[in-house]
Amino acid sequence: MFSCLSTKVKFRDKYMPKTWYDTFVCLFIIIIIPTVFWFEIFVVLNQFYDETSVWRYIHFYAGLFILINICTNYFATITIDTSVKGLILKPQDMWKLCSVCETLVPPRSYHCNICNICILRRDHHCVFSGCCIGLNNYRYFFYFMFYMFIATVYSSYFNIFFIYSTMNFNSWFSYINIVFPLAMLLINFDMHQLYLFLTLIVFVGMIFTGVLLYFHTNLLLKGQVTYESKHNINKYNLGKIENIKQIFGMHWKDTWISPFVISPLPTDGQLFPVRIKDM
């Protein structure tokens, strides 16, 4: 079982996305991840290494480790409940009333109109997982992004040489294939065009996840959520190490290995330590 809090982990009752857009993006993620893994391991690596090569096995197991972390962190992000639902709340001073949930909620908790519930330490609603990212699942969301970025950088390095060695760039038609990969795939489907499409998907994914990872790393190190960053709220900034512990837990140094690594958070989402000068 995933361990996220110092108390028992709570799982969501319903995992299905609530909007058609979330559903589409989630299905795309679920389909594209194993497809790209197949492409990288059984097509691209075959171009560079034979079946007896030691390096082939090294890249295979490295890719498998990354894939397992992508999938398990993604699963944890979706399934772990980070809302106020079912919690025994102990209202304190400065708590605010949510008119929709009809209850007092802790600081840093915000209502999500899509999930229709207040989320503890809510950062944002994620279309990739179809749920909100908050106190209990931020760790898994962050590592999902981290390993997606590592995977796309790793893959793009090999893909550049693969495409260069398999495509004929002497024809102007080849450049049309690159500029309009999906359209050309639908018009004239063949395996080479599919490989080009997957290569470009991986490259775009590398840029996108890189930007997201940079943004959320800054938030993490500053001890902020997206709302606090936009409104320049810094009172929860405890210093880089303590801010990291607020997300990854007390055993934060080991959490990169797997989402199954137990690392209890120092807060239950109802009380948050603040900087001394802001107390």
User: Is residue 126 among the annotated active site residues?
Assistant: yes
Which H or E element spans position 96? strand 96-98
Calpha distance 182→234 (Å, rounded): 44
Calpha distance 166→87 (Å, rounded): 57
Tokens linked to 226:
């997206």
Environment class of 121 (CB within 10 Å of its CB; exposed 0-12, middle 13-18, buried 19+): buried
Environment class of 230 (CB within 10 Å of its CB; exposed 0-12, middle 13-18, buried 19+): exposed
Give bridge partners of residue 59 from the DSSP assignment: none
CA terminus-to-terminus distance, the chain: 36
Which H or E element spans position 132? strand 131-133
Which H or E element spans position 119? strand 117-119
Question: Catalytic pick from 112, 118, 126, 132?
Answer: 126
Give bridge partners of residue 131 from the DSSP assignment: 126
Identify the CA nearest to 245 among candidates 210, 270, 211, 272.
Answer: 272
Which H or E element spans position 104? strand 103-105
Q: Hey, which residues are catalytic here? A: 126
